[in-house]
Amino acid sequence: MRKTLLLLVPAVLLGGCTWGINPDPGSNNVRTVWSGDVSGCRDLGKITVSVMDHVGPFDRNDIKVRDELQVQARNSAASMHADTIKPLADPVDGSQPWEAYYCGNHMPGPPPPPPIQGSPQAQPPSSQPPQPPAQQGGGFQTYPTKGG
């Protein structure tokens, strides 16, 4: 029992480690597209990253391994001047391939939410050019009250 306890203590302590993998400056601007259309983006190349997925006989937490792989892929993408990454496969033995893209203004992902009824965006399009919104006095925005 004592030997088992001595083996479990290091495993528990090491299970919380991130192994010093931190986001680099600029990698915060790299988005991850898990399942989306990147057809309007320019393909910059493949990135393969790897981390330790086990320590001795103990497997590391799968979520931590996946998180570290994503951080490393974003770091590599930032150095390639990419702004979007997409996984090509699931991690295997602590390694995962990614594709890096430059999407610029065309950002793949879910469509924007529909406009709120009564907002200027909910109006049908007109043939006249859009006018800037009218300035309301004092710079305060008013909202309708509940039930009214």
CATH number of the domain to which 46 belongs: 3.30.1660
Q: Is 24 exposed, middle or buried (0-12, 13-18, 19+ CB in 10 A)?
A: middle
Report the pLDDT value the prediction gives residue 39, as an integer from 0 to 100.
Answer: 87
Confirm whether 141 is domain-assigned: no
> What's the number of domains the chain is made of?
1
Predicted confidence (pLDDT) at residue 136 exceeds the cutoff of 60: no
Average pLDDT over residues 87-102: 96
Q: How many residues does the chain have?
A: 148
Report the pLDDT value the prediction gives residue 121, as an integer from 0 to 100.
Answer: 54
Confirm whether 95 is domain-assigned: yes
DSSP, residue by residue, 14-62: HHT--TT--PPTTGGG-EE-SS---TTSEEEEEEEEE---EETTEEPPH
DSSP, residue by residue, 81-135: T-SEEEESS--BTTEEEEEEEE-TT---SSPPPPPPTTSGGGSPP-SSPPPPPPP
Predicted TM-score of the model (pTM): 0.60
Domain around 58 = 29-102
Whole-number Å distance between alpha carbons of 81 and 87: 17
Predicted confidence (pLDDT) at residue 83 exceeds the cutoff of 70: yes
Average pLDDT over residues 80-92: 95
For residue range 35-71, what is the model confidence (pLDDT) as tens digits?
888 988 999 999 999 999 989 999 999 999 999 999 9
Predicted confidence (pLDDT) at residue 1 exceeds the cutoff of 90: no
Confirm whether 136 is domain-assigned: no
Whole-number Å distance between alpha carbons of 41 and 107: 8
Average pLDDT over residues 107-113: 53
Report the pLDDT value the prediction gives residue 137, as an integer from 0 to 100.
Answer: 45
Average pLDDT taken over every residue of the chain? 76
Confirm whether 14 is domain-assigned: no
